[in-house]
Amino acid sequence: MIKAIDFFCGAGGLTRGLLNAGISVLAGVDNDERLQQTYTHNNAPSRFIASDINDIEIAMLREELGILRQDLTLYAACTPCQPFSTLNRQKGKDKRKILLLDFAKIVEKCPPDFILVENVPGLNNAYGREIYKEFLSVLRRCGFSEAAGLLDAKSFGVPQTRKRFILLASRHGTISLPIPQTYANQMSTVRACIEKYPAIADGEAPKAHPNHVARKLQPHHKRIVAAIPKNGGSRRDVADTSILLPCLSICLYF
């Protein structure tokens, strides 16, 4: 079994996915200690290590986690995506850009067998390419070969269009990215995922289903919801034009 450390583990979404895939995630590392409770609640016995990546002594950490020389190991690193995101106007100055290279130092000191990196598409375009190229050169120096590209969550059973840049690297020969499911009938829908839950009115939060909560709606919100056709329609389908913003109701006449 592969033993993993999830660097920049956050509240543990990736750790959960790796565990579900049969990988033994021994620990997650994150410098935000507020995430510990959620991380361990969802992923125990994986340990949460509250630490800045730059304070990690990787050889000591591996020993502490009981990783032996002959074990197959994976390091995952989903560094903060804001420095590479189109939405961040300060990205040029965002110091978190270099966290991928901080992670590279850990790789250089004690290379694992496999690496998984996930980030926004901007990591490999104008916003992040310099950092990414430097990261790749470290990997190659350490004997890794890699496969990298954009994958869309909707092609892997998630009812959401969400394109992410994924890199898989291996020190055991070539490696490839998973093949997207290409047929529409294999794609999951929001309905398929949530229809098992009971219908609830606005403002309800039945205890039997954690996170199954409907926000309280104001009367004018309810009028808007009632006016929207079941298939979503377009604003031209709204008979009650009084619910449209003034600029939109004017547009209807052009």
Residue placing its CB nearer to ligand SAM in the complex, 42 or 188: 42
**CA angle at 219 for the pair 214 and 220, rounded to the nearest 5°:** 105
Contact call for residue 31 and ligand SAM (CB under 6 A): yes
Contact call for residue 159 and ligand SAM (CB under 6 A): no
Report the site for ligand SAM in 97-126 (rule: CB under 6 A): 99
Stretch near ligand SAM under the rule CB under 6 A, chosen from 2-10, 141-149, 214-222, 239-247: 2-10
Contact call for residue 11 and ligand SAM (CB under 6 A): yes
Q: Provide the minimum distance between the beta carbon of 89 and ligand SAM in the complex, in angstroms, as a whole number.
A: 19
Residue placing its CB nearer to ligand SAM in the complex, 13 or 121: 13
Contact call for residue 80 and ligand SAM (CB under 6 A): yes
Contact call for residue 33 and ligand SAM (CB under 6 A): no
Contact call for residue 78 and ligand SAM (CB under 6 A): yes
Contact call for residue 53 and ligand SAM (CB under 6 A): yes
Beta partners for residue 148, in sequence order? 167
Contact call for residue 57 and ligand SAM (CB under 6 A): no
**In 10 A of CB 25, how many CB atoms?**
25
Tokens at 254, concatenated: 């052009």
Which of 4, 5, 8, 23 contacts ligand SAM by CB under 6 A?
8
Q: How many residues bind ligand SAM (CB under 6 A)?
A: 17
Residue placing its CB nearer to ligand SAM in the complex, 103 or 243: 103
CB 84 within 8 A of CB 120: yes
